[in-house]
């Protein structure tokens, strides 16, 4: 806390007027008075040892931290010895889908998330300027930042009929101009989803040329790699080449090793990333604490050869298993949702590989939505990835899905890595959910409890915080969190939404 200086950005008056307009009831009056947190164990997000102290918040900012005394008339929050940390920052989120249904975004705030970073895997709202305006008109309960999506931009330029090819020089230039528009609106940078249509058809040169458009904006690049299994090493090199050529920060999305033959190689991959960092490449990563992913049925067919039975057999033996492929969405046959490919195959009297191909092609023929939860990672590799000093926590989640990460990621991370496995100290774990994440995003006013930082805060019990969401009960709320504050306004109190919507749009700094 020493050395930090209090400051009040010029935009604070605008923030105050905005929050007065959108917060309800008596909470609005709190904006004009300070809030005093006391009797708390402060884990400040830097990774440094925790300490007992107090925190004062005014106008949505932290203004003082340490051995403080309460002032007359300020709101007092007795922490009863619980941990007070910065709000959790979800560096790879799809919870904007939840916002479309309920702007409280309960799956996120209930697990202590105060900031979502959306526009992931190459898909984003276009144009972002209009989406940000909507968020300002109808703010959510938490903060939102976004990348511009390569796939979304590519659809815009190449269309839905002629995208299964490399883009021409003129098309790349047109995509670059659209990316510039999104950056001017406040996008953090460019995200790619190179295992998905239409980005899977892009060349490495196309992606590199688009990344160069980020340089004048000091933007960032985040990528769902071109391969997370068979060609993982080559995919990492593609990302590192972008970082080396452009000089911009590059981040691996939901870093994983999704191939049995490569399980145990996480340490080797980390050594390669460390080598790259030593050479000046600003490479980082985020990881979620589950051994099962969620994507489309098509994702394990990199050549898009959906009549290739050998590839189906390979996918169900080397990349996952029939029992490990749980149907999460399947509009063509809704009765399949919640069943595994093994169960569907047995009921149909088919070989699992044939069922797998049938499911893909039926969905394609009917233009139906589909998704699958696939088990394909080793827990020991996830542990190794989390121990890297440049890995932060993400959820990759959405509350409406059957994957429990939408409701449980951050409490699960604490439960597993601090209490059960004891691989991380409480301070290190919080750093990976807050201060480190903010650093990876280029933010200098969130993610740490110190004067001058925004008052995104979570009060919780490190001995009891836990997730309850499972694939059988994916929408169960986590417990152990006493309170969540966004920009100084309480949004979650003892398991209930407070009715306040103080979220802000965070544009590129």
pLDDT digits (tens, 9 = 90+) for 317-344: 999 999 999 999 999 999 999 999 999 9
Residue by residue, pLDDT tens for the chain (509 residues) are 333 322 333 444 444 444 444 443 334 444 556 999 999 999 999 999 999 999 999 999 999 999 999 999 999 999 999 999 999 999 999 999 999 999 999 999 999 999 999 999 999 999 999 999 999 999 999 999 999 999 999 999 999 889 999 999 999 999 999 999 999 999 999 999 999 999 999 999 999 999 999 999 999 999 999 999 999 999 999 999 999 999 999 999 999 999 999 999 999 999 999 999 999 999 999 999 999 999 999 999 999 999 999 999 999 999 999 999 999 999 999 999 999 999 999 999 999 999 999 999 999 999 999 999 999 999 999 999 999 999 999 999 999 999 999 999 999 999 999 999 999 999 999 999 999 999 999 999 999 999 999 999 999 999 999 999 999 999 999 999 999 999 999 999 999 999 999 999 999 97
Residue 82: phi, psi to the nearest 5? -75, 170
Could you give the CA distance from residue 274 to residue 391 in angstroms, rounded to a whole number?
12
Q: How far apart are CA 365 and CA 356, in angstroms?
A: 15
Q: Would you say how long the chain is, in residues? A: 509
Q: Model's pTM, two decimal places?
A: 0.93
Using DSSP's 3-state secondary structure scheme, residue 130 falls into helix
From 75, 92, 82, 115, select the one nearest 445 (Cα to Cα).
Answer: 115
Let me know if 164 is exposed, middle or buried by CB neighbors in 10 A (0-12, 13-18, 19+). Answer: exposed
Q: DSSP string of 407-444?
A: HHHHHHHHIIIIIIS--S-HHHHHHHHTHHHHHHHT-S
Tokens 């398991």 -> residue? 495
Nearest to 227 by CA among 247, 264, 257, 265: 257
Whole-angstrom distance, CA of residue 6 vs CA of residue 17: 21
Specify the fold of 88-290+378-441. Answer: TIM Barrel (3.20.20)
Domain boundaries, the chain: 12-87+478-497, 88-290+378-441, 294-375
DSSP string of 272-297?
HHHHHHHTT--EEEEE-S-SEEEE-G
DSSP class of residue 466? Answer: B
Sheet holding 189-193, edge to edge: 148-149, 189-193, 220-224, 250-252, 283-287, 391-393
User: Considering the domain 12-87+478-497 in this protein, what is its CATH number?
Assistant: 2.30.40.10
Rounded Cα–Cα distance for residues 123 and 196 (Å): 10
Tens digit of each residue's pLDDT (9 = 90 or more) over 431-456: 999 999 999 999 999 999 999 999 99
Please state whether the peptide bond connecting residue 245 to the residue before it is cis, i.e. omega within 30 degrees of 0: no
Distance of CA 37 to the CA centre of its chain: 28
> For 506, phi and psi rounded to 5 degrees?
-105, 110
313: left (phi over 0), alpha (psi -120 to 50) or beta: alpha
Q: What is the helix (H) or strand (E) element at residue 406, kind and residue range? A: helix 405-414
Question: Which string of b and e fits 68-93 if b means at least 16 CB within 10 Å?
Answer: eeeeeeeeebebeebbbbbbbbbbbb
* Separation CA 232–CA 259 (nearest Å): 9
């Amino acid at each position: 806390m020493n050395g930090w200086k209090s400051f009040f950005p010029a935009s604070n008056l605008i923030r105050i007027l905005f929050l007065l307009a959108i917060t309800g009831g008596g909470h609005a009056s709190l904006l004009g008075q300070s809030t005093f947190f006391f009797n708390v164990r402060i884990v400040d997000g830097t990774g440094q040892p925790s300490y007992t102290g107090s925190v004062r918040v005014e106008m949505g900012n932290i203004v003082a931290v340490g051995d403080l005394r309460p002032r007359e008339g300020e709101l007092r929050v007795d922490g009863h010895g619980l941990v007070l940390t910065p709000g959790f920052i979800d560096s790879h989120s799809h919870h904007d889908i939840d916002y479309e249904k309920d702007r409280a975004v309960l799956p996120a705030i209930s697990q202590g998330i105060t900031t979502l970073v959306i526009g992931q895997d190459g898909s984003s709202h276009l144009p972002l300027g209009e989406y940000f305006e909507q968020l300002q008109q109808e703010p959510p309960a938490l903060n939102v930042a976004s990348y511009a999506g390569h796939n979304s931009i590519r659809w815009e330029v190449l269309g839905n009929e002629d995208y299964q090819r490399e883009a021409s020089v003129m098309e790349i230039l047109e995509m670059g101009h659209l990316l510039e528009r999104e950056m001017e609106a406040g996008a953090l940078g460019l995200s790619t989803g190179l295992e998905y249509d239409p980005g899977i058809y892009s060349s490495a040169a196309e992606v590199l040329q688009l990344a160069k458009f980020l340089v004048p904006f000091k933007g960032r690049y985040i990528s769902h790699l071109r391969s997370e299994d068979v060609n993982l090493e080559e995919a990492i090199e593609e990302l590192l080449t972008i970082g080396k050529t452009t000089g911009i920060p590059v981040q691996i999305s939901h870093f994983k090793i999704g191939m049995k033959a490569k399980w145990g190689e996480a340490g080797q991959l980390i050594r390669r990333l460390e080598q790259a960092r030593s050479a000046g490449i600003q490479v980082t990563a985020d990881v979620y604490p589950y051994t099962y992913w969620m994507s489309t049925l098509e994702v394990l067919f990199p050549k898009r050869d959906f009549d290739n039975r050998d590839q189906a057999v390979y996918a169900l033996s080397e990349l996952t298993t029939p029992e490990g492929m749980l149907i999460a969405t399947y509009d063509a046959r809704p009765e399949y949702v919640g069943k595994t490919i093994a169960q569907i195959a047995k009921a149909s009297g088919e070989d699992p590989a044939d069922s797998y191909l049938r499911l893909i092609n039926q969905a394609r023929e009917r233009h139906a939505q589909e998704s699958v939860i696939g088990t394909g990672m080793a827990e020991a590799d996830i542990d190794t990835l989390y121990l890297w000093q440049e890995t932060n926590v993400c959820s990759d989640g959405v509350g409406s899905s059957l994957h429990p990460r939408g409701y449980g990621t951050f409490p699960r991370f604490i439960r597993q890595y601090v209490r059960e496995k004891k691989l991380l100290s409480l301070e290190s774990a919080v750093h990976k959910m807050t201060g480190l994440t903010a650093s990876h995003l280029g933010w200098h006013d969130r993610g740490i409890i110190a004067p001058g930082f925004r008052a995104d805060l979570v009060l919780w019990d490190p001995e009891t915080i836990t997730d309850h969401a499972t694939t059988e009960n994916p929408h169960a709320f986590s417990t152990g969190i006493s309170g969540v504050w966004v920009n100084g306004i309480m949004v979650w109190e003892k398991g209930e939404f407070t009715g306040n919507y103080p979220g802000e749009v965070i544009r590129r700094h």
